[in-house]
């Protein structure tokens, strides 16, 4: 489905009086949140969403007395607190009995069958591995958000909970006047990995797993920190003192969804025990495809009347059980510890392991984070160690098996010089990490890592530029930094190992195509310490171009939501360094990271060289006459050609393409759709919004 782009919906509001405009904006933002978080079918792109939020915020500043107490702008974090107040839950947050085998599960079926005198129906759900919270709504408005605590008394984290965009501040439809919703706050594995990168770059201790990251992020005294962490929420149970308007767990899940809560798409009604067992088997593999961790499934008796009849013993309901999958662990030998130098110069010890299969994957290395971690776990070279893999997360060493430690086991020590450039190592004040003291451009390892990061899939996405190629390019002095990639020629690549005509052409085409990467990717690609994917997106939408970002003062940066003072200082520090400025200037010259075009048909003058020196061929039918696109190509500084040869830079491909497409593919020439082409020349926004 096509997403609405910037300016569209907001414009409609302009003619309304302020109060109505604000109401309408709030409605539009809520609809967009609901579509994104609950329906999983976004209706607005990030730019359009931000525009609505900005307009609402401006109106609220102008007319503070009209501001709505639960406006989506209130997701803006409040002030830090000294400690969390205690809140007592409306209904105790029960825990669950566990089982790990089919026999134990069968005993659960038998138990509930005996107690009820018949076989009940069940409801099966993934067991999210996060932090359980309770949300209380009064008359459909979020009043309190609390952690589980001891089950009766939790911590009041309302201010933090309000910053989680998938948690509705106002319920949809008709919900009970007082409602307590229970669910799990989680963090996706990729977000967890980038959070850890950011933490390590800032010299802080990394989180052990996504669950700890989610819990740590929610239990922050400063809600601005919570706001900067990408947390998600899934609802799975509810309580109302007036009773719930549903008869079963399956209906409750539907109701929660109707009220505006995200619920799992993998929940299933199971008419009997066989279906439950099939679900448990299937989920064992399906769960690996989830972007977040689950540690089992939860089986619940479906009918609420049956649940009431079965009751609770101690803190565990008799009507539900958690089937836990075994953690993916294995034993192996720690053969050695090597040191990797990251792009910011941080030295990370890496465990070299006797290769072993863990959770279906062959593991031969694991990160050890830092020297303190090794000391804390008392790991020695030669030890037998427990290795664990959770989903896609990098394997970790849980512990050493001290009883099996050989006499020859040795204690590892961090070297005092950089293994790559030989410069002394320095310990930065109050950082756990140690760093190479060379600037990035003088240490080969830092440089190589920086270039690999630049080209990586989430950044400029240059396929074919892995570690070995980067190493060869540096070794042969063909590049000295990321911008040099764009000056590489076929002749330079051909003599390198692993390169032939086709692979050289292909790499050059991939590098050329990366010039159209959107600004968020470009900012991420720079590798500014403490700036990960999410922060890069925020910076891109706030500044619109690399030069504007590079010129931003720390004060301007500090005004941005979800970006803390230490990140702002790091950004400013990055652009104050001459080598970094030179890289930025180089990229801008290449047309990378510039502001998108605006103006009427055709490229405006400041964009005149996005296609400088490029020749472009068109095939198939496009949305407008070919002549129109030829003009765009020329105005962007390119040349339009008729036939596909190895000199052609891009093929723009419309419907029903001819033999040119085949030929371009053979030659490894980048093929662009009409939309990709418009994006490349910076004309995409104008076209989507206007015509
Ligand atoms: S139901 C009385 N459903 O697992 C019912 N819990 O080991 C109580 N959890 O504390 C919980 N996914 O934090 C339920 N689909 C799910 C769940 C779930 C994860 C957590 C929850 C609970 C823990 C118990």
Best of 132, 180, 318 to mutate for ligand 1, by most ligand atoms within 8 A of CB?
Answer: 132
Q: List pLDDT tens digits, range 231-240.
A: 999 999 999 9
Using alpha carbons, list the distances in angstroms from residue 128 to 79, 228, 235: 30, 22, 10
Least confident of 143-157, 295-309, 672-686: 672-686
User: How high is the pLDDT of residue 416?
Assistant: 95
The CA 387 to ligand 1 mean position distance, Å, reads 27
Domains of the chain: 9-75 (1.10.287.610), 98-324 (3.30.470.30), 329-406 (2.40.50.140), 441-589 (1.10.150.20), 605-681 (3.40.50.10190)
Whose CA is closest to atom 9 on ligand 1?
A: 127
Q: List pLDDT tens digits, range 238-285.
A: 999 999 999 999 999 999 999 999 999 999 999 999 999 999 999 998
Best of 92, 94, 95, 276 to mutate for ligand 1, by most ligand atoms within 8 A of CB?
Answer: 95
Does the CB atom of residue 176 touch ligand 1 within 6 A? no
Least confident of 49-53, 312-316, 392-396: 392-396
Mean pLDDT of 5-16: 57
Least confident of 155-169, 189-203, 590-604, 666-680: 590-604
Strand partners, 329: 388
The CA 127 to ligand 1 mean position distance, Å, reads 6
Q: How confident is the model at residue 3 (pLDDT cuts 50, 70, 90)?
A: low
User: How high is the pLDDT of residue 323?
Assistant: 96
User: How high is the pLDDT of residue 570?
Assistant: 93
Token representation of residue 168: 């509705």
Cα 618 to Cα 616: distance, rounded to the nearest angstrom: 7
Q: Please choose, from the candidates 44, 57, 58, 51, the residue with its C-alpha nearest in 3D space to the C-alpha of residue 10.
A: 51
| For the CA of 264, the nearest atom of ligand 1 | 15
Q: List pLDDT tens digits, range 556-583.
A: 999 887 788 889 999 999 999 999 999 9
User: How high is the pLDDT of residue 17?
Assistant: 85
| Cα-to-chain-centroid distance, residue 116 | 45
Does the CB atom of residue 129 touch ligand 1 within 6 A? no
Q: List pLDDT tens digits, range 128-144.
A: 999 999 999 999 999 99
- Higher pLDDT: 475 or 675? It is 475
Q: How confident is the model at residue 671 (pLDDT cuts 50, 70, 90)?
A: confident
Mean pLDDT of 84-109: 93
User: How high is the pLDDT of residue 624?
Assistant: 78
Whose CA is closest to atom 10 on ligand 1?
A: 95
Best of 184, 295, 310 to mutate for ligand 1, by most ligand atoms within 8 A of CB?
Answer: 184
User: How high is the pLDDT of residue 360?
Assistant: 66
Run of H or E including 650: strand 650-653
Q: Is 429 exposed, middle or buried (0-12, 13-18, 19+ CB in 10 A)?
A: exposed
Cα 187 to Cα 209: distance, rounded to the nearest angstrom: 9
Mean pLDDT of 116-132: 96
First-residue to last-residue Cα distance in the chain: 17
- pTM to 2 decimals? 0.58
- Helical packing angle, 533-543 and 519-526, nearest 10°: 130
pLDDT at 4 over 70: no
User: How high is the pLDDT of residue 10?
Assistant: 47
Does the CB atom of residue 201 touch ligand 1 within 6 A? no
In contact, 378 and 309? CB cutoff 8 Å: no
E strand segments, 302-345: 312-313, 316-317, 320-324, 328-341
User: How high is the pLDDT of residue 684?
Assistant: 64
Mean pLDDT of 427-444: 87
Mean pLDDT of the chain: 88
Does the CB atom of residue 125 touch ligand 1 within 6 A? yes
**pLDDT over 70, % of the chain:** 93
Mean pLDDT of 449-470: 93
User: How high is the pLDDT of residue 606?
Assistant: 46
Cα 530 to Cα 124: distance, rounded to the nearest angstrom: 40
User: How high is the pLDDT of residue 690?
Assistant: 34
| Residues noted as catalytic | 127
CA atoms within 13 A on the CB side of 528: 31
Does the CB atom of residue 496 touch ligand 1 within 6 A? no
Instruction: Name the most confidently modeled range: 99-108, 368-377, 501-510.
Output: 99-108
Instruction: Name the most confidently modeled range: 195-209, 383-397, 419-433, 624-638.
Output: 419-433
At 488, give phi and psi (nearest 5°): -65, 145
Q: How confident is the model at residue 626 (pLDDT cuts 50, 70, 90)?
A: confident
Does the CB atom of residue 298 touch ligand 1 within 6 A? yes
Mean pLDDT of 92-98: 92
Does the CB atom of residue 236 touch ligand 1 within 6 A? yes
pLDDT at 604 over 70: no
The CA 95 to ligand 1 mean position distance, Å, reads 7
Q: List pLDDT tens digits, range 362-411.
A: 889 998 888 988 999 999 999 999 898 765 567 889 889 888 899 999 99
pLDDT at 532 over 50: yes
Question: Degrees (nearest 5) of the Cα angle 356, 358, 363?
Answer: 50
**Three-state secondary structure readout of 99-133:** ECCHHHHHHHHHHHHHHHCCCCCEEEEEEECCEEE
The CA 620 to ligand 1 mean position distance, Å, reads 54
């Amino acid at each position: 489905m096509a997403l609405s782009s910037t300016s569209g919906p907001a414009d409609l509001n302009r003619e309304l009086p302020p109060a109505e405009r604000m109401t309408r904006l709030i409605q539009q933002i809520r609809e967009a949140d609901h579509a994104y978080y609950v329906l999983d079918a976004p209706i607005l792109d990030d730019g359009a969403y931000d525009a609505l939020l900005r307009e609402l915020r401006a109106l609220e500043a102008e007319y503070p007395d009209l501001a709505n107490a639960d406006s989506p702008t209130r997701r803006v974090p409040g002030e830090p607190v000294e400690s969390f107040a205690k809140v007592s839950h409306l209904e105790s947050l029960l825990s669950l009995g566990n089982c790990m085998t089919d026999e134990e599960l069968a005993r659960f079926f038998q138990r509930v069958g005996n107690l009820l005198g018949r076989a009940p129906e069940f409801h099966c759900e993934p067991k999210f591995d996060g932090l359980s919270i309770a949300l209380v709504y009064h008359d459909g408005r979020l009043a309190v958000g609390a952690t589980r605590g001891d089950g009766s008394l939790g911590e009041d984290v309302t201010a933090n909970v309000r910053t989680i965009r998938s948690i509705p501040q106002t319920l949809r439809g008709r919900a009970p006047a007082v409602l307590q919703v229970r669910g799990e706050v989680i963090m996706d594995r990729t977000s967890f990995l980038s959070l850890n990168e950011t933490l390590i770059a800032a010299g802080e201790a990394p989180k052990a797993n996504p669950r700890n990251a989610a819990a740590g992020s929610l239990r922050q005294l400063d809600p601005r920190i919570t706001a900067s962490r990408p947390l998600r929420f899934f609802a799975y149970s509810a309580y109302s003192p007036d009773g719930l308007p549903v008869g079963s767990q399956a209906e409750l899940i539907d109701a929660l969804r109707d009220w505006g809560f995200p619920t799992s798409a993998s929940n299933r009604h199971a008419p009997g025990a066989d279906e439950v067992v099939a679900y448990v088997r299937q989920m064992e593999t399906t769960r690996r495809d989830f972007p977040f961790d689950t540690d089992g499934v939860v089986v619940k008796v479906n009918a609420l009347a049956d649940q009431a009849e079965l009751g609770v013993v101690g803190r565990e309901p008799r009507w539900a059980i958690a089937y836990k999958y075994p953690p993916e662990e294995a034993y192996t030998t720690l053969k050695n510890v090597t040191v990797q130098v990251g792009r910011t110069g941080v030295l990370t010890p890496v465990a070299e392991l006797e290769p072993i299969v863990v959770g279906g994957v062959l593991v031969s290395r694991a990160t050890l984070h830092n020297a303190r971690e090794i000391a804390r776990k008392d790991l020695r070279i030669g030890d037998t160690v427990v290795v664990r893999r959770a989903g896609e997360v990098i394997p970790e060493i849980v512990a050493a098996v001290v009883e099996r430690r050989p006499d020859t086991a040795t204690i590892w020590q961090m070297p005092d010089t950089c293994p790559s450039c030989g410069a002394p190592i320095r310990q930065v004040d109050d950082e756990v990490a140690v760093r190479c003291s060379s600037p990035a451009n003088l240490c080969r390892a830092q440089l190589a890592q920086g270039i690999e990061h630049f080209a990586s899939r989430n950044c400029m996405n240059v396929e074919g530029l892995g570690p070995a190629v980067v190493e060869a390019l540096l070794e042969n002095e063909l590049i000295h930094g990321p911008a040099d990639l764009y000056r590489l020629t076929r002749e330079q690549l051909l003599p390198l190992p692993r390169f032939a005509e086709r692979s050289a052409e292909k790499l050059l085409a991939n590098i050329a195509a990366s010039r159209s990467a959107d600004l968020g990717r470009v900012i991420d690609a720079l590798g500014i310490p403490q700036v990960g994917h999410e922060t890069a997106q925020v910076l891109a939408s706030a500044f619109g171009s690399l030069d504007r970002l590079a010129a931003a003062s720390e004060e301007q940066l500090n005004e941005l939501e979800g970006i803390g003072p230490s990140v702002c200082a790091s950004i400013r520090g990055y652009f104050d360094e001459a080598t970094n400025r030179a890289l930025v200037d180089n990229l801008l010259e290449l047309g990378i990271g510039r502001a998108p075009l605006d103006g009427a048909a055709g490229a405006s003058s400041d964009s005149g060289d996005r296609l400088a020196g490029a020749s472009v061929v068109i095939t198939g039918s496009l949305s407008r006459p070919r002549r129109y696109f030829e003009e765009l190509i020329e105005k962007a500084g390119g040349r339009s050609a008729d036939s596909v040869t190895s000199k052609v830079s891009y093929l723009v491909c419309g419907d029903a393409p001819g033999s040119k497409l085949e030929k371009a593919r053979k030659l490894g020439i980048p093929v662009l759709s009409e939309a990709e082409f418009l994006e490349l020349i910076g004309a995409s926004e104008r076209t989507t919004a206007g015509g």
